[in-house]
Structure formats: structure tokens, C-alpha cells
Amino acid sequence: MLKGIDPLLSPELLATLRAMGHGDEIAIVDGNYPALEHARRLVRLDGHALVPVLDAILSVMPIDDFVPEAIFRSVVGGKPDQVDPVHQEIIDCCAKHEPKVPVTKLVGADFYNRVKAAHTVVQTGEPRLYANVILRKGVIYPSA
């Protein structure tokens, strides 16, 4: 355990977040997602819901502000305008940490392809369907 660090951030996940560079992406996916098949690197957080894991990651990781879109979520199959409760929770969590960054919807294959290209996939035990999000890492600016 560390002071000020959410205990959901396991040693493996902390090392991964620290190793990622500007522009690298991390996908946080639900328990039904085919993570082992899609991941270049896989971190498992079985038994934890997606939104608390997202909240923990956003507590330490900056989001890219060099691009217009840096946070992405999956959509309910064939219904891109549908916002399930878990999607609203994702949007609210992201807004708490990054109020100026919109959460962009990605449909089906576009989402899958982006996950496959991600630096790391974090698989949660989230039981709700389509509870998936991708974050693009930003930078920590030097002090003035």
C-alpha cells in the first residue's frame, strides 16, 4: 500500500502506467471482453467493477490534450446513440477528472481495432455489457 495511491492500482498496473508514453493508449474492458485475444499486454483486475478502476487510473494518469479526441467508449451493438447506465457512469467519471475532454463513441470494429493497437488492456470483472473505455495518455507539464 502507498499513501495517496488508490489500492486498485496494482504493482503491475502502476508499472504499466508509468512505462506508457505520451500518446499510448490503455483500454479498460468488462469481464466479457475478449481481452486475452486482443491485448498486446494484459493486466487482470478480476473482481473489480470498471468505473472504480477507471477512477483509479484517472487519478494518476494525464489525458492527452494535443488531440481533439483522447477518451473513447464502446457502444451498445448497432445502437450508437444509446447510453446505458454504465456509459453515463463512464462519462461522469471522466468529466470529474478531465472536464474539458469529451468521451467519444466508437462503434464495433473501430473500438476493437483501437483496443488491439493499445499499449495495454486492463480486464475488469465488470458484468455489464459494453462497459469498455480507452484512454490516451497525455503529458505532465514542467513547473513554470
22 an active-site residue?
Answer: yes
Encode pLDDT of 83-110 as tens digits: 999 999 999 999 999 999 999 999 989 9
Average pLDDT over residues 122-129: 98
Per-residue model confidence (pLDDT) at position 16: 98
From 22, 38, 87, 97, the catalytic residue: 22
Per-residue model confidence (pLDDT) at position 78: 80
Per-residue model confidence (pLDDT) at position 18: 97
Per-residue model confidence (pLDDT) at position 104: 97
Encode pLDDT of 35-80 as tens digits: 999 999 999 999 999 999 999 999 999 999 999 999 999 999 889 8
Tell me how far apart the alpha carbons of residues 144 and 46 are, in angstroms, rounded to a whole number: 41
Quickly tell me which residue has 492500482 as its cell. 9
List the one residue out of 26, 49, 8 whose CA is nearest residue 121: 26
Residue 2 or 97, more confident: 97
- Residue 144 predicted with pLDDT over 80: no
Per-residue model confidence (pLDDT) at position 122: 98
DSSP 137: B
SS3 20: coil
- For the record, the C-alpha cell of 72 comes out as 473513447
Residue 30 near residue 70, CB atoms below 8 Å? no
In one letter, which amino acid is 10?
S
Count Cβ atoms below 10 Å from residue 133 Cβ, excluding itself: 29
Q: Which residues touch 25 (CB under 8 Å, ≥6 apart)?
A: 114, 117, 118, 119, 134, 135, 136, 137
Phi-psi category of residue 127: left, alpha or beta, with phi > 0 → left and psi -120 to 50 → alpha: alpha
Quickly tell me which residue has 493508449 as its cell. 25
Per-residue model confidence (pLDDT) at position 1: 82
Per-residue model confidence (pLDDT) at position 88: 98
144 burial via Cβ count (<10 Å: 0-12, 13-18, 19+): exposed
